[in-house]
């Protein structure tokens, strides 16, 4: 059973454009929703996270939009840069357990 | 500062051989510890997590096992590897804040 569904699987965006990655979750008990960024050969690193009592969180060029009623959340990367090319994972967690989506491979064209 | 060490970084093992991957965390005490596996097209699959010495929660029934013999040591083992065990294994610890995990550099396992 896939508890966190992520789309698209891969994404190509022009430099300066907006990258959008979507996730949906099933378990309403989840109470935090982080996004991770992974570069090839490295472990993932936390990018930004949100709690379900907030509809949006912005940190620099990265924004999480959260829709509790639809059980969906998304990552927006504004002014996308070639250095943003990486794999992005959404996740959902409660207590000590964190479940990840399958990831999105993002490529920013120079 | 906290650091996480994971080894070996790469290994190639024959089918049916045993496995031992080790992970240690420095600079913190009583962390939660996690083992994830990353396979192509399957994202990050939670295998085991531990909230304390000797306390292991298994998420996926399989031929892998985990142990936490010391507060900051987490070991992933198998008695007999399968081809399907190939993948990128990541150890992580956390969290200071909910949702924040710190990952090691990973161990790439190829079973032939």
Nearest chain A Cα distance for residue B95, angstroms: 8
Helix (H) or strand (E) segment spanning residue B65: strand B64-70
> What is the per-residue pLDDT for A8?
96
* Cβ–Cβ under 8 Å, residues B88 and B44: no
Tokens of B57: 């929660």
> What is the per-residue pLDDT for A1?
54
pLDDT < 70: residue spans in chain B:
41, 61, 96
The overall longest dimension of chain B from CA atoms, in Å, is 40
> What is the per-residue pLDDT for B96?
66
Which residue, A31, A20, A30, A92, is CA-closest to A62?
A20
B28-52 pLDDT tens trace: 888 999 999 998 767 898 999 999 9
A66-76 pLDDT tens trace: 999 999 999 99
How far apart CA B5 and CA A72 sit, in angstroms, is: 34
> What is the per-residue pLDDT for B16?
96
Average pLDDT of the segment spanning A42-51: 92
Query: Which residues are registered as beta bridge partners of B98?
Result: none
Does residue A94 carry a pLDDT above 90?
no
Instruction: Tell me whether residues A102 and B41 touch, CB distance under 8 A.
Output: yes
- Nearest chain B residue to A34 by CA distance is B99
Instruction: Tell me whether residues A43 and B42 touch, CB distance under 8 A.
Output: no
Instruction: Tell me whether residues A42 and B51 touch, CB distance under 8 A.
Output: no
pLDDT band per the 50, 70, 90 thresholds, residue A14: very high
Among A1, A23, A41, A43, which would you mutate to test the B interface (most chain B Cβ atoms within 10 Å of its Cβ)? A43
Of A89, A93, A100, Cβ closest to residue B98 = A93
B-chain CB neighbours of A45 within 8 Å are 103
Instruction: Tell me whether residues A102 and B42 touch, CB distance under 8 A.
Output: yes
Average pLDDT of the segment spanning A73-81: 98
């Amino acid at each position: 059973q896939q508890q966190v569904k992520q789309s698209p699987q891969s994404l190509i965006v022009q430099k300066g454009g907006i990258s959008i990655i979507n996730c949906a979750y099933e378990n309403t008990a989840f109470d935090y929703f982080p996004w991770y960024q992974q570069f090839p050969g490295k472990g993932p690193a936390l990018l930004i996270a949100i709690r379900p009592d907030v509809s949006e969180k912005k940190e620099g060029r990265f924004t999480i939009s959260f829709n509790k009623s639809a059980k969906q959340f998304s990552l927006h990367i504004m002014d996308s840069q070639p250095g943003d090319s990486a794999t992005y994972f959404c996740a959902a967690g409660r207590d000590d357990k964190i479940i990840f989506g399958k990831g999105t491979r993002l490529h920013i064209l120079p | 500062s906290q650091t996480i060490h994971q080894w070996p970084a790469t290994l190639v093992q024959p089918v049916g051989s045993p496995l031992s991957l080790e992970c240690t965390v420095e600079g913190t005490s009583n962390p939660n510890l996690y083992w994830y596996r990353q396979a192509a097209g399957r994202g990050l699959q939670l295998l085991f997590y531990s909230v304390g010495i000797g306390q292991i929660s298994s998420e996926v029934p399989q031929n892998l096992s985990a142990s936490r013999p010391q507060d900051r040591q987490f070991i992933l083992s198998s008695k007999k590897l399968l081809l399907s065990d190939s993948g990128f294994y990541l150890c992580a610890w956390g969290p200071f804040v909910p949702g924040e995990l710190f990952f090691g550099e990973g161990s790439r396992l190829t079973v032939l």
